[in-house]
Structure 1
């Protein structure tokens, strides 16, 4: 079987390198590279990507060996149909490692065709590293590397100073563009870069806050041989991605012309404010996960798809989403209903085995951010308690008991949270335990006992789950 590269695949098209991408991982390859590849095919975008390896000091051997080529395999469940599609991505030119070739990396900043900079360096990637004191050496942090690259461009001068750069960070933190810009400014101050650079950076380098959403599980190890046989190539970089994709970019209208994804009908939006989209994702997508995980696990389920296919949990989730979470939100319900249906389709993806135990990590803080606003919002708007979300909260408390039906539960939280629940469950009496837990302001941000009837409702649900366990043990 042929190794995938530009010779074996007969790919001769070479486009201007208009994009520098900090990161070589699964998500960027299965999301941004996939989008840019389609922009090249169907619009006049005409851009190739130069990857930058941000972690580790090994060369990006696989990227170089395959000359940037790889396949994205889109698989999942969407609008009642199974999707299984394959696309050969041809827009990546190669990858450079700054630790191995710092001069080659800096020289990328001198490229007159450069227009875009993308990144995904994990949620912890946008920071100032105290060890980055000498820009003549490769900085440890991504913002440090970016600052060094931008400074090389500034030093090159000439017409480059009149060309705008657009930076789209994809790290999953709020205000990612703003925070990245702040880090670059901090490095400019730290390294005592000239005022001219600071002025040019402020004028010509544009940062945009973004919100991205797509599950990209990555290399399909279990099926690799079969898929490669079907493709006819040995592709060590192929990635599996779900059909759903969403990219919201907070920016001006002219960005739609510069980044013409609207011509493709892709789920990529340029919007004046990301806040509604972030709220939608946290309350519906993340909130649905956190709502069902404890209860589904107590019911003996272990995989997200198994949970939504289960008659009881599936109905419970539908009721929670459509009757409680969406009504609790101050947004147009029609768009929320469609998003909720997309979420349910994603959960049913037969090609992804998403473990409930993985979602259960730090469930107390997740419940506070993802579910509690819906619970409180429902009480405020409807004037009554939301039964499904009450059941979810009760299941969370039982889950943190650590054992159920003779089986240990995969609780994984901070030492303080784990120690608190270990101690409080020693009483074993819901009527004592529940009010004390609801009063834990460090957990919830407020004393939940202030809502009339909430404590008694949670007590009833906790008792029901413990009674169910007793019947099972007998």
Structure 2
């Protein structure tokens, strides 16, 4: 018989899983977090759970909220189990469950007045967010804040009733400024290069549309530290809920399964104070740039590299893709010959060893991470994880054959069918546009690179255009397997 997760059941749950080793009743709110999805609860919340277990900083409890429809379902589920989460850490030889409890309350996503009021509360010293790469209103071609996005325009017309994360943060900061309350620190926990800078540009950029004085105050006084976060965390489904029930006897409405590895590198810029996360493994550095670039190029770029060939070959799980010699061979050659050589040095880090660790993490059979998750939202991820590497190599006059093949595989995937002829369900916010463009590109590859908002100058560079066209034609004339086989054997993507 399973035990339903709740605070009252923790004594019984402790027989099969670790439970919070601190008095949750003694906690006080110090962090407001937007986006309480799986990654947040496998990463930031776990570090805080470890910290609170030492008896420190219990005044940095988390209040969760969000702005998306899915956030409401997540918050309702967590509220029903006293804001506790079961986190299952999985490696090939072990699975360990723990119940975490740093979240002590939540605000419904639709209750904008309550969110702004809590943002204005002096007790809130950090506002953090995991809102995905696509949630920052970035123009993919320029990398700059898109002030013309309809959501941003709508918030600028109604600053007292904002609907975006950045509109809400700006409203909270406006109220604190008016009341003479020191600003909170804004901490992005998303996989975006210079995520603190990007968050600052979004908050100040939105504020500037209605209140230039507020925008200047935000830029001058509010801290937005950059950070690098890393932990492979798949989506939760029936499979995970059943495994939790069978292996640990726990019924959790939204458990989190993840790998054992985790990493968090942060710039130490928290004027309003912060929890002592360095005591539980968070690395504080003066400049996070080398670490985040390494992770985004090698790990996230690696995910993109295996995603589309595996998706086209009807491979379901990531570890299965790593066991496929053509997919694994493509990843290995592309990383070693084109990606890693343009990643700058990282303090105390061997990039080749980091890549070897990355491959072992991808191959973890326990995680159950899906290829479809890796293929998701390419229109936002490719400009962040792949295209900058292409730009760097072009600037150096270096070959881009493997990167062009990766881009051609994304195009082929967006055509909407796998090699076996199976339909690919929509898997991008811009799926209709991508599918239409991919179908035109089958006969005219230049059509794909003409998406200037995604490729920008890279799409107009002759060496990349030629390599991309050759790769896409090879995929259509010879198939994915034959094209990967030639490339993996040391040849070019095109015939």
Please give the TM-score of this superposition, normalised by the length of structure 2. 0.71
State the alpha-carbon separation in 1 of the partners of residues 480 and 321 from structure 2.
22
Match of 1:66 in 2: 81
Deviation, structure 1 residue 350: 1.7
> Which of 148, 158, 173 does residue 150 from structure 1 map onto?
173
* Aligned 8 A contact 2:204 2:216 in 1: no
Structure (1 or 2) with the larger CA radius of gyration: 1
Task: Structure 1: give runs of 5+ residues left out of the alignment.
Answer: 427-432
Q: Residue 262 of structure 1 aligns with which residue?
A: 278
Q: Is the 8 A contact 2:234 2:367 kept in 1?
A: yes
CA distance in 2, matches of 1:467, 1:147: 48
Alignment of 1:291-302 (within 5 A): 291-296=305-310, 301-302=315-316
For 2:8, the equivalent position in structure 1 comes to: 7
- Which residue matches 2:366? 351
1:100-159 Cα deviation digits (max 9, x unpaired): 483x544434644332111223432566352565566x43222222233334444554xx
TM-score of the two chains, using structure 1 as the length reference: 0.74
Give the 3 Å change call, closer, same or farther, for CA 186–83 of structure 1 in structure 2: same
Which stretch of structure 1 is more off in the superposition, 19-28 or 359-368?
Answer: 359-368
CA contact (8 A) 1:110 1:153 kept: yes
Name the SS for the 1:54 alignment partner: coil
Q: Confirm or deny: 8 A CA contact 1:449 1:455 kept in the other structure.
A: no
Aligned CA-pair RMSD:
4.6
Quote the offset at 1:24 in angstroms: 2.8
Distance 1:446 1:208, change over 3 A: same
Which piece of structure 1 moves more, 202-211 or 38-47?
Answer: 202-211
**Do 1:116 and 1:166's aligned partners in 2 also have CA atoms closer than 8 Å?**
yes
The residue that corresponds to 2:287 in the other structure is 272
> Does structure 1 residue 168 correspond to structure 2 residue 196?
no
Q: Give the superposition deviation at 1:222.
A: 1.9
Match of 1:141 in 2: 164
Q: How many residues align?
A: 447
Tell me the residue number matched to 2:258.
241
Aligned equivalent of 1:336 = 351
Whole-Å Cα distance in 2 between the matches of residues 21 and 52 of structure 1?
6
Residues 281-333 of structure 1 deviation map (CA, whole Å, 9 limit, x = unaligned): 33222332333444445656443221211234323422332344323444359
In the TM superposition, 1:218-237 aligns within 5 A as 218-228=235-245, 231=248, 233-237=250-254
Residue 292 to residue 118, structure 1, CA distance change in 2 (3 Å): closer
Q: Counterpart in 2 of 1:429?
A: none
Please, which moves more after superposition, 448-457 or 352-361? Answer: 448-457
Matched, 1:208 2:259: no
- What is residue 321 of structure 1 aligned with on the other side? 335
Deviation at 1:17, TM superposition (A): 1.7
Tell me, yes or no, if the aligned pair for 1:125 and 1:141 is still in contact at 8 Å: no
**Which residue in the other structure is 1:287 paired with?**
301
* Residue aligned with 1:21, SS: strand
What is the Cα deviation at residue 171 of structure 1? 4.0
For the 8 Å contact 2:32–2:119, the answer to whether it is kept is no
